[in-house]
Amino acid sequence: MEIRYWNKEVETASREKIEEIQLQRLKKIIEAALKTPFYSRRLPAVGIKTPDDVKSLNDLRKIPFTMKDDLRQSYPKGLLAVDTKDVVRIHTSSGTTGIPTVIYLSAKDLEAATDLVARSITATGADNNDILQNMMSYGMFTGGLCMHYGAERVGMMVIPAASGNTKRQVQLMKDFRTTVLHVTPSYLLHIHSKLPEFGISLNDLALRKAFIGAEPHSENTRKKLEELYNIDAYNSYGLSEMNGPGIAFECQYKKDLHFWEDAYIVEIINPKTGELVEDGQQGEVVLTNLIRTAMPLLRYRTRDLAYLHTEPCECKRTHRRMSRILGRSDDMLIINGVNVFPSQIEEVIMRVPEVGTNYQILVEKQGALDRLIVKVELYPKMFLGEAKQIERVKSKISDELKASITIKPAIELHEQGTLPVSEGKAVRVVDTREKL
């Protein structure tokens, strides 16, 4: 197998060299962080008043973790290190309680993030002969635009199909001879089940590869996709707080994901104690972004659970590999690739006078796709006696949830007192999907 590199020198650099780059970049990031309202308070409190106070990578451990809630509380500009005239792009992701989180990118930051996506794509063996159909949603979500930029950088022909409209997706694949897909695994499974209906067979398509991400999936799911489509599927990892896709990606050998350690410092911690765990042990992924100066983020707790590999990879890359994501250390749900916190759903329900405060969230598989059902109790005094009214209440809740979490759940109205009552920790979330 011919091994392709985007930047061979960096991708195969020695450990010493990688750490040298990390320290040098960390100082720059500290310098930027000291310009933000958030870190200008936090860093001096642990003895970091200038970038020179960071003498080795070990000094990073002095810095407290940055939590998602810190981002929320810093919304919109508490973590911004530059004037907005120097920002060329923002992305937001949904927050846990209705307040979103935002990232800012300067032209240079975007350049660096794009370069990493290009590196990731190249690591899978794809190149400018390939035609990429990007089936992630564009807009505020990083998965669409950031992959798009990286693929253009590689020189691929990019079809910005975005998500949804399965029939059109398949038509585009056929008409433009798409060779690579960027897609969530559940949607890719779903598309396969629709092919007979559209009268299209795999022979009509030119698919060779799929970059699958945005939702956790098992090795079995990957194998199934590879067999169904006769393609290679590569696991990709990213989160919007860190610039989206291109943080860690599988190479041609498809044996877990190379973390681009010149751009991100990855730590795996015990989520309960905050202590670092040994390589090979499962824990929570904590990331420091070394390539973004407009909005620095130090020791960000992703809540994703995984472990790191240290043994060398056949591709000769020296960057450590991460296992697939094995779960979450918080209660975030990933529904068809969209991140949803139960607290966001609760916040909406509490605003609707027609329903009580008891609720239950059910997530299940319907075919290949995930289905979200929100069960609420009708507040007796608000019942006007007509089915029409109930239907209106249901659509109101459904519409408001759509506005908050971007997906439209099914709403079930129940009689008062029939859903589990909140006694300490009520079983608010029932997820019947297969565990990884």
Distance of closest approach, residue 391 Cβ to other proteins, in angstroms = 7
Our CB check for other proteins shows the closer of 241 and 377 to be: 377
Our CB check for other proteins shows the closer of 389 and 406 to be: 389
The 377-406 site mask, x for binding other proteins (CB under 8 A), equals -x-x--xxxxxx-xx---------------
Q: Residue 282 contacts by C-beta under 8 Å, 6 or more apart in sequence? A: 268, 305, 306, 307, 323, 326
How many angstroms separate the Cα of 21 from the Cα of each of 28, 152, 260? 11, 27, 12
Ranges of H-type helices in 312-386: 342-350
Our CB check for other proteins shows the closer of 279 and 415 to be: 415
Our CB check for other proteins shows the closer of 350 and 382 to be: 382
Q: In this chain, which of 24, 310, 418, 432 binds other proteins, going by CB under 8 A?
A: 418
Please spell the DSSP secondary structure of 71-108, one letter per residue: HHHTTTTTT--S-GGGEEEEEEE--TTS--EEEEEEHH
Our CB check for other proteins shows the closer of 27 and 375 to be: 375
Our CB check for other proteins shows the closer of 185 and 356 to be: 356
The 335-374 site mask, x for binding other proteins (CB under 8 A), equals ----------------------------------------
Restricting to residues 89-128, which ones interact with other proteins according to CB under 8 A? none
Distance of closest approach, residue 386 Cβ to other proteins, in angstroms = 7
177 φψ region: left (φ > 0), alpha (ψ -120 to 50), beta (else): left
Q: In this chain, which of 52, 175, 415, 434 binds other proteins, going by CB under 8 A?
A: 415
H or E stretch covering 414:
strand 410-414
Structure tokens at 101: 């989180």
Q: Residue 266 contacts by C-beta under 8 Å, 6 or more apart in sequence? A: 259, 285, 286, 287, 308, 320, 322
Instruction: Choose the stretch contacting other proteins; rule: CB under 8 A; options: 208-216, 261-269, 295-303, 416-424.
Output: 416-424
> Residue 416 interacts with other proteins (CB under 8 A)?
yes
Instruction: Choose the stretch contacting other proteins; rule: CB under 8 A; options: 25-33, 67-75, 86-94, 407-415.
Output: 407-415
Q: In this chain, which of 413, 429, 433, 436 binds other proteins, going by CB under 8 A?
A: 413
Our CB check for other proteins shows the closer of 80 and 419 to be: 419
Beta strands 257-259 and 321-322 are antiparallel
Our CB check for other proteins shows the closer of 137 and 389 to be: 389
Q: Total number of residues binding other proteins (CB under 8 A)?
A: 17
Our CB check for other proteins shows the closer of 252 and 358 to be: 358
The CB density around residue 217, as the number of other CB atoms within 10 Å, is: 24
3-state class (DSSP) for residue 293: coil
Residue 430 CA to residue 84 CA, distance in Å, equals 43
Contact 303, 332 (CB under 8 A): yes
Please spell the DSSP secondary structure of 168-205, one letter per residue: HHHHHHHHTT--EEEE-HHHHHHHHHHHHHHT--GGG-
Our CB check for other proteins shows the closer of 196 and 385 to be: 385
Q: In this chain, which of 90, 414, 429, 431 binds other proteins, going by CB under 8 A?
A: 414
Distance of closest approach, residue 401 Cβ to other proteins, in angstroms = 16
Instruction: Choose the stretch contacting other proteins; rule: CB under 8 A; options: 39-47, 150-158, 193-201, 408-416.
Output: 408-416
Within a 13 Å sphere around the CA of 132, how many CA atoms are in the beta-carbon half? 31
Contact 307, 268 (CB under 8 A): yes
Distance of closest approach, residue 423 Cβ to other proteins, in angstroms = 19
Distance of closest approach, residue 338 Cβ to other proteins, in angstroms = 23
> Helix 185-198 to helix 166-175 angle, to the nearest 10 degrees?
80
Sites of contact with other proteins (CB under 8 A): 378, 380, 383-388, 390-391, 412-418
